[in-house]
Amino acid sequence: IVNWDPVAKTTLADIDTERVERETELVYIKYPLKEAVDGVEFISVATTRAETMLGDTAVIVHPKDERYTKLIGKTIILPITNREIPIITSERVEKEFGTGVVKLTPAHSYDDYVMMSEWNRANPQSTVGYINVIDKDGKMTGPIPEKFKKLSTIEAREKVEQDLGNMLLKREKHLQSVMVGERSRAVIEQIMSSQWFIDVEKLKQPAIDAVK
């Protein structure tokens, strides 16, 4: 996961970003279970970025949250895409925030990427992965419905919320700490990116020899 500036078109180190507080909306979305459990047909997920749900690969609850104990390991039908995703656990989930249920979008959240990695290490049989749905221009991409492709994240957010219909349960005003580029002031997208590394040990001696 890297901090990608869609305006400067470059990866930024944490030190080259800033946090600013902005008023956003926390929306609550109904995620239906594939099969009802003791009369429970859906769980509610709170998010400020509805558009990233197109890249969800799991739903996470705290392992000791008694509200969801019976649902761990069950399957969710992801709204709009109709993909099947599992309900998994992580002790990193804050039970008190929102509904205590977190949508997992590992390709576009460092925290989600960490939780996915921890889950997969603890559960070698796991098939939870990641899906890139935002490109380096800050546009929607990947294996998503065609009508969302090439939309900006803000445009896609509005479109997703419209398409959810009665699956969108409610909205709340929310003050959020947003990461922006220090120079461009653009909102930073966290995306998956192949990284390359240099073996300095192999390079330093020829450089020393050249200087001598």
- CA dist 34 → 49, 76, 170, 189 (Å): 23, 5, 22, 31
pLDDT tens by residue, 133-190: 999 999 999 999 999 999 999 999 999 999 999 999 999 998 999 999 999 999 999 9
Decide: 90 and 37 in contact? Cβ < 8 Å: no
Q: Kindly report the pTM of this predicted structure.
A: 0.86
| DSSP H helical ranges for 127-168 | 153-164
Cα separation of 135 and 142, whole Å? 8
pLDDT in tens, the chain (212 residues): 999 999 999 999 999 999 999 999 999 999 999 999 999 999 999 999 999 999 999 999 999 999 999 999 999 999 999 999 999 999 999 988 889 999 999 999 999 999 999 999 999 999 999 999 999 999 999 999 999 999 999 999 999 999 999 999 999 998 999 999 999 999 999 999 888 888 999 999 999 999 99
Which strand (E) or helix (H) includes residue 60? strand 58-61
Decide: 27 and 17 in contact? Cβ < 8 Å: no
Residue 109 confidence (pLDDT): 94
Residue 196 confidence (pLDDT): 83
